[in-house]
Amino acid sequence: MNRQSELNNAGDEKPGLVRTKIVATVGPACCDEESIRNLAMAGVDLFRLNFSHGTHAEHAETWRRIQNVKRDSQRSIAILMDLSGPKIRLGTIVPDDGLLECPMDGLFELSMGESVDFCLESDPKLFRLVCPVKELFEDLEVGQRILFADGTVSMTVVECWPEEHRAILKNLISGRLRNRQGINLPGGGGGIKALTDKDIRDLDWAIEHPVSFIALSFVRQASDVHQLRQELEARGIDSRIVAKIEKPAALANLDAIMKEVDALMVARGDLGVELDVTQVPAAQKRIIAKASQAGLPVITATQMLASMELSSIPTRAEATDVFNAVLDGTDAVMLSGETAVGRDPVLAVQMMSQILRQAESYYKSEPQLHKPNESLHLRSRDWARVTPITAAMVHTVAELVRQIEPKLVVAVTRTGRAAFALSKMRLPVPIVALSDNPQAISALSLAWGVEPLALERYGEPDENLKVALDWAMARNLIAPGDRVLHLRGAIANKPGHNALYIHEVGPVHQVVHGSV
């Protein structure tokens, strides 16, 4: 069998068997309904709508198509709304979208504006740059480094007049600049708000188009997240908040930020510009480890299979990167340009799925890699943390998995907290989460190793369990005589209680059970 046919077969595999979740960015290459359907069949769990591009009307049409696919596939497919945030960009610096050559040691005048006045005669010793963001100039000081175009051009401030919104820069790396390319201030930019006026207008879109997650860009401190949560509450939006960690300040304030958010994203694009690129791998490992300890899901993003924007296969380094992210403990991996503008978005997802299966197989075969997460924090303030009682039950499940080797763990939950906690235990068996709460089911699309299944009603234990057993039987995951652990996060008419059962699958999955 050749590589292409193997990948095609990978797309035919039933969802739920790859435990690391896949996030795919929707863009021009995959925004029609057939493409979205094919991506879901290939294994996408969350679709990312990037609000740095596109109009509200275009995003609304994409949202509608995802809802259609979700309904028809009967899968738990979630939507991530990614706010653009205060991405600082150059204005128009060259006519006709040409290139500006930036020689080494060249001097550049940076001023506030949308476009350079090409009719104005200027000092021949100075190249001219413009930026429309006035807060940029308030943060500048002599000696500060400024990066352009993802760090391909680096300059330093030699003179500045913040009140005049003007500075003189000296170029440190020869290169080229285009109109509207990005600007980064490593260690600076503190005066620029994480939540922009555009972001607030975009939140109004989410009132009529509910999404499971909203990602906040360029977070620096916990108050950034708090401001977004206030805006959501004012609009009656109950989406979970994902903090994108892409600034050194966010790394310094990570503990405080984690107390306010529902999930994290390792946004390696801007993080790799703000930090020395050699520091990014360690930052990624640190973020994932801290998220695991806090019981928070985490997405690893940016350039995971970047070469597949143009190629039919990734580089060996990219495959290794994805593999290692799984071993680090990431809950999800994200595709950006690979699906948004790539030559074959479905092929990229199929390849991602193949690499994830290999990594998960290796992870399962190495016992030292999947020890129970004994450091799971006993927090209860919001959805991603659990009460001490639920935490104790989750640790009991992990111990029973080790001792009696069940084939399946089933969690019946209203909030999703118990299932997220089980996910963080990295159990070597599939986890099925059952809930009659659509918000919880949608959110669990981000939980590693968890297959969320909707309940029509929160009924009796055996009635609920049959839903999970049907799912597992259809995938040949269980057989008569196998054991199944069944955790109920609440008992009918007794809110706040937990129960744990051990079931033995009988013929036609009749259950024989005893409680623990």
Give the DSSP letter string of 259-289: TT-SEEEEEHHHHHHHS-GGGHHHHHHHHHH
Asked whether 452 and 425 are in contact (CB, 8 A), the reply is no
Q: Which of 183, 341, 200, 329 is nearest to 270 (CA)?
A: 183
Is the domain of 353 the same as that of 336? Answer: yes
Residue-wise pLDDT for 25-70, tens only, equals: 999 999 999 999 999 999 999 999 999 888 999 999 999 999 999 9
Question: What's the CATH number where 140 sits?
Answer: 2.40.33.10
Q: Could you list the residue range(s) of the whole structural domain that residue 161 is in? A: 88-184
Is the domain of 395 the same as that of 467? Answer: yes
Overall number of domains in the chain: 3
Q: Which of 356, 299, 257 is nearest to 78 (CA)?
A: 299
Is the domain of 432 the same as that of 289? Answer: no
Is the domain of 204 the same as that of 332? Answer: yes
Bridge partner residues of 333 (DSSP) = 22, 300
Is the domain of 410 the same as that of 313? Answer: no
Q: Which of 81, 80, 78 is nearest to 51 (CA)?
A: 81
CA–CA dist 351, 26 (Å, integer): 17
% of residues, the chain, pLDDT over 90? 65
- Sheet of 153-161: strands edge to edge? 88-89, 182-184, 145-148, 153-161, 166-171, 107-112, 126-131
Residue 375 in domain: no
Residue-wise pLDDT for 297-352, tens only, equals: 999 999 999 999 999 999 999 999 999 999 999 999 999 999 999 999 999 999 99
Asked whether 12 and 346 are in contact (CB, 8 A), the reply is no
Is the domain of 125 the same as that of 235? Answer: no
| Beta strand pairing call for 107-112 and 126-131 | parallel
Last residue of one domain, picked from the residues 126, 154, 184: 184
Last residue of one domain, picked from the residues 184, 208, 225: 184
Residue-wise pLDDT for 467-515, tens only, equals: 999 989 988 899 999 999 999 875 555 555 678 999 999 876 554 455 4
Is the domain of 315 the same as that of 453? Answer: no
Is the domain of 426 the same as that of 314? Answer: no
Last residue of one domain, picked from the residues 164, 184, 204: 184
- Looking at residue 494, what DSSP letter applies? B
Enter the pTM of the model: 0.86
Question: What's the CATH number where 316 sits?
Answer: 3.20.20.60
Question: What's the CATH number where 510 sits?
Answer: 3.40.1380.20
